[in-house]
Amino acid sequence: MRISVIYIALCFILGSCIKEIPYNRSAQTTASHAVHCFITPDSIIISDCRLTAPFGSKDAPVAGADFSIRYPSGQIMDSSLYSGNGLHIFKTNTLQSGDSFIFRGNIRGQQSFEIHSAIPNAISILQLDTSRQIIPGIGRAFSVAVRFSDNPVNNNFYRCFLYKTSFRYVYDYTGTLSDSFLKKEIIALFSNEFPVAENDFNNYTSREVLFSDASFNGVNNNMVFYTSDPLVKNKQERPVGIEFHLENIDKNLFNFYNTRNAHIWQQQSISQLPGSIIGNIPGMYGVMGGYTKDFNVVNLKR
């Protein structure tokens, strides 16, 4: 009884320490345009343009913005057409790895910008092997050993992630298996390699790994990655394959992905304030960058 009385008194005292602070909408920053455009050869180019909104509100798609991709001389290569929901789609994409270009935008005559950029060198996965290993702190894990070539001319920045494809089981109310469906999802990916450890931002996410070639510039590189997903059949699913994706991204995208991952993690932290996301759109939020990509598919044994 005495313990119960003390507990109730403690709850009352702690509850009385809570102070409700009213939400002040005037403290919000003014709305600003945000543009995101990720360009890779042989793919449709889409420029997403939106107007930022205060906390608790939805962003607003922007129609009628003009975007163009130009040759370094300034001659127009292609321009975008609005397709709805803030998406501006380019009709063609003739850019190849190593090409320089200008990305120009005009938002309803209110804001305009011009960015000089280039598509990074082509990336190629030369070899990929998988195995199960004992990883300290994880235990038995599925590992992916990758060998790829690194161009010595430029400073390169890399991003990799791992997809899992599996049959998900559906049970009825009696617990009897009634159906299944195929699902593809990104799963956790880690690495203890030195280039990965050099980038502290990798501590903020398990959905992708980002690193540069500062420590191995100009050589064929071998790196080992692993996932904490067991990738074995259980009552909920049967994994049938994985896809390892490797991208050579420009420095603007490297900075954007790094700070975005930190910002998302810090939003859920009680000890850190979210930092700024680094972009390259002058006077606006967002990023425009180029990348090349390659991927390998591995079918898993039943």
Structural contact between residues 180 and 237, judged by C-beta atoms closer than 8 angstroms: no
* CA-wise closest residue to 122 among 145, 103, 100, 150: 150
Question: Is residue 5's pLDDT more than 90?
Answer: no
DSSP 203: G
Structural contact between residues 167 and 179, judged by C-beta atoms closer than 8 angstroms: no
Distances (CA, A) of 129 to 80, 86, 122, 222: 41, 41, 21, 11
Structural contact between residues 259 and 86, judged by C-beta atoms closer than 8 angstroms: no
Structural contact between residues 136 and 218, judged by C-beta atoms closer than 8 angstroms: no
> What whole-number distance in Å separates Cα of residue 19 and Cα of residue 162?
45
Q: How big is the CA angle at 260 (ends 164 and 121), to the nearest 5 degrees? A: 70
Give the bridge partners for 164, in sequence order: 185, 242
Tens-digit pLDDT profile for residues 213-251:
998 877 778 999 999 999 999 999 999 999 999 999 999
Give the bridge partners for 218, in sequence order: none
Task: Give the model's pLDDT for residue 31.
Answer: 80
Task: Give the model's pLDDT for residue 138.
Answer: 73
Mean pLDDT of the region 252-264:
97
Question: Is residue 288's pLDDT more than 60?
Answer: yes
* Cβ count within 10 A of residue 243: 15
pLDDT bracket for residue 10 (50, 70, 90): low
Question: Is residue 254's pLDDT more than 80?
Answer: yes
Q: Which two tokens stand for residue 85?
A: 């929901």
Q: What is the pTM of this model?
A: 0.87
* CA-wise closest residue to 144 among 264, 295, 272: 295
CATH of region 28-118, choose from 2.60.40, 3.30.70, 1.10.3470, 3.40.50: 2.60.40
pLDDT bracket for residue 108 (50, 70, 90): confident
Phi and psi torsions of 41, nearest 5°: -60, 150
Q: How many CA atoms lie within 13 A of 116 on its CB side?
A: 3
Q: Which two tokens stand for residue 4?
A: 């119960």
- Spell out the domain ranges in the chain: 28-118, 125-276+294-299
E-strand ranges in 174-275 read 177-187, 209-212, 220-227, 237-249
> What whole-number distance in Å separates Cα of residue 123 and Cα of residue 138?
30
> What whole-number distance in Å separates Cα of residue 275 and Cα of residue 217?
30
Structural contact between residues 102 and 59, judged by C-beta atoms closer than 8 angstroms: no
Task: Give the model's pLDDT for residue 270.
Answer: 79
> What whole-number distance in Å separates Cα of residue 298 and Cα of residue 228?
17
